[in-house]
Amino acid sequence: MTANLLGLDHEGLKAFCVGLGEKPYRAKQLMRWIHQAGVDDFGAMSDVSKSLRERLAQSAAIVPPVVMRDTTAADGTRKWLLDVGTGNAIESVFIPEANRGTLCISSQAGCALECSFCSTGKQGFNRNLKVEEIIGQLWWASRSLKSHNAPAGSARTAQSAASGSSDGEGEVERPISNVVMMGMGEPLANFDNVVTAMRLMLDDHAYGLSRRRVTLSTAGLVPGIDRLREELPVSLAVSLHAPNDALRDELVPINRKYPIRELMAACLRYIDKAPRKYVMFEYVMLAGVNDGVAQARELVALVKDVPCKVNLIPFNPFPGIQYERSSAEAIDRFRDVVAQAGLVATVRRTRGDDIDAACGQLAGRVQDKTKRVKRRQDKQEALAQ
């Protein structure tokens, strides 16, 4: 069987090298070629002996997901549609800003959580992504951005990247400075694969990102938050979206299993070990649903004991959805109430919506295994008759 080396972290690659009768340090060398130089051909690994290159070619491969579409929005946001087989495709999005570049990564083909306002949730669920499919999104994006965006002469060459040498930490050399697990899927529902992929993001021989610059966003899987705290505490974002259980049960149905009180307790436990000493609460702004002044006050009271920042996300509509985006005035009013209570409140700028790359618009292509989509269609047909 051919091993896909793209999906192995340092430990995995060491075991693989030892299995070939090689020294474990080869793992670092391979990681630098694969993840820093973006090489998918063993023949290009010029500091690896010819005999090892040949043995690698026989027993292993470096296979990223296949890019089906690569689109750039008017504001520079870029979206890749990646084929992950059997009729499923996932999306990742690069968001360039003046002082940083953020890649938003998917963790599942579809999502099983069915948040009422999210287009991925409406598509149903097929499967967890494998490690190589998760890290493959960063691999592709890093490679494409290096070849397209770097001004001539400023990019690191494959050779210098692979040998670890660099003349400075310029942003141009590393177009992706931040990764957010905020694409399709619930990352904590694919815990092991997501953690292994994040280990590669943090590894100095791979992408070398700091734990502060890797953010995992969850709809609130309490046991997963606790496990993450033990295994790989990165920056944490929590999709709160409502200030009480009655409304959150409706918007984020996983709340019926892990209600707000338990979620807040898990956030407090997490902060102890987190690289940032606060949790980012995400709050989608739905007109007339969760955006009133009274709800802002309720939110302030709810989070008063949890060190946090609040990130308001203007709702991004998609076909067939009953919600509307809150008005700019409602969003400002809500933010002011939260800010006046002494909390940091920001409004997420909508990026890339002309190519459906904004929050909640990532749809890819999902062969729904849960039959949820079929049941909904049957119901709609029955109602229409």
C-beta of 200 vs 240, nearer to ligand SAH: 240
In one-letter notation, the amino acid at residue 7 is G
User: At closest approach, how far in Å is the CB of 106 from ligand SAH?
Assistant: 9
Stretch that binds ligand SAH, among 4-12, 112-120, 162-170, 242-250 (CB under 6 A): 112-120
Q: Does 316 sit near ligand SAH (CB under 6 A)? A: yes
Binding residue (CB under 6 A) for ligand SAH from 315, 338, 345, 352: 315
Q: How many CB atoms lie within 10 A of CB 231?
A: 12
CA angle 264, 244, 335 (to 5 degrees): 85
Q: Does 84 sit near ligand SAH (CB under 6 A)? A: no
C-beta of 4 vs 346, nearer to ligand SAH: 346
Separation of alpha carbons 273 and 374, rounded Å: 43
Question: What is the Cα 98 distance to its own chain's centre?
Answer: 21
Separation of alpha carbons 312 and 331, rounded Å: 8
Separation of alpha carbons 314 and 287, rounded Å: 9
| Residue closest to 360 by CA, chosen among 119, 38, 62, 79 | 119
User: At closest approach, how far in Å is the CB of 186 from ligand SAH?
Assistant: 4
C-beta of 36 vs 77, nearer to ligand SAH: 77
Stretch that binds ligand SAH, among 110-118, 167-175, 194-202, 206-214 (CB under 6 A): 110-118
C-beta of 24 vs 253, nearer to ligand SAH: 253
Q: Does 194 sit near ligand SAH (CB under 6 A)? A: no
C-beta of 269 vs 348, nearer to ligand SAH: 348
User: At closest approach, how far in Å is the CB of 177 from ligand SAH?
Assistant: 19
Using CA atoms, how far residue 46 sits from 39, 42, 60, 264, in Å, is 11, 9, 17, 52
Separation of alpha carbons 357 and 159, rounded Å: 34
Query: Rg (Cα) of the chain, in Å, rounded?
Result: 22
| Candidate list 22, 91, 133, 186, residue with the active-site label | 91
Establish whether 324 is a catalytic residue.
no
C-beta of 255 vs 316, nearer to ligand SAH: 316
Are the C-beta atoms of residues 35 and 205 closer than 8 Å to each other? yes
| Residue closest to 141 by CA, chosen among 166, 174, 165, 187 | 174
* 214: β partners: 179
Establish whether 111 is a catalytic residue.
no
Q: By CB under 6 A, what part of segment 204-223 binds ligand SAH?
A: 217-219
Binding residue (CB under 6 A) for ligand SAH from 13, 228, 313, 337: 313
User: At closest approach, how far in Å is the CB of 212 from ligand SAH?
Assistant: 18
User: At closest approach, how far in Å is the CB of 142 from ligand SAH?
Assistant: 21
Stretch that binds ligand SAH, among 9-17, 76-84, 312-320, 339-347 (CB under 6 A): 312-320
CA angle 113, 117, 119 (to 5 degrees): 75
Size of site (CB under 6 A) for ligand SAH: 16
Contact map string, positions 335 to 374, toward ligand SAH, x by CB under 6 A? ------------------------xx--------------
Closest residue by beta carbon to ligand SAH? 360
Residues 6 or more apart whose Cβ sits within 8 Å of residue 274: 229, 233, 234, 235, 236
Separation of alpha carbons 342 and 361, rounded Å: 32
Q: Does 182 sit near ligand SAH (CB under 6 A)? A: yes
User: At closest approach, how far in Å is the CB of 96 from ligand SAH?
Assistant: 19
C-beta of 161 vs 180, nearer to ligand SAH: 180
Measure the N-to-C terminal CA separation of the chain; round to a whole number of Å: 53
| Residue closest to 76 by CA, chosen among 93, 64, 90, 59 | 93
Separation of alpha carbons 236 and 27, rounded Å: 30
Are the C-beta atoms of residues 66 and 83 closer than 8 Å to each other? yes
Residues that bind ligand SAH (CB under 6 A): 115, 117-118, 182, 186, 217-219, 239, 282, 284, 313, 315-316, 359-360
Annotated catalytic residues are 91, 359
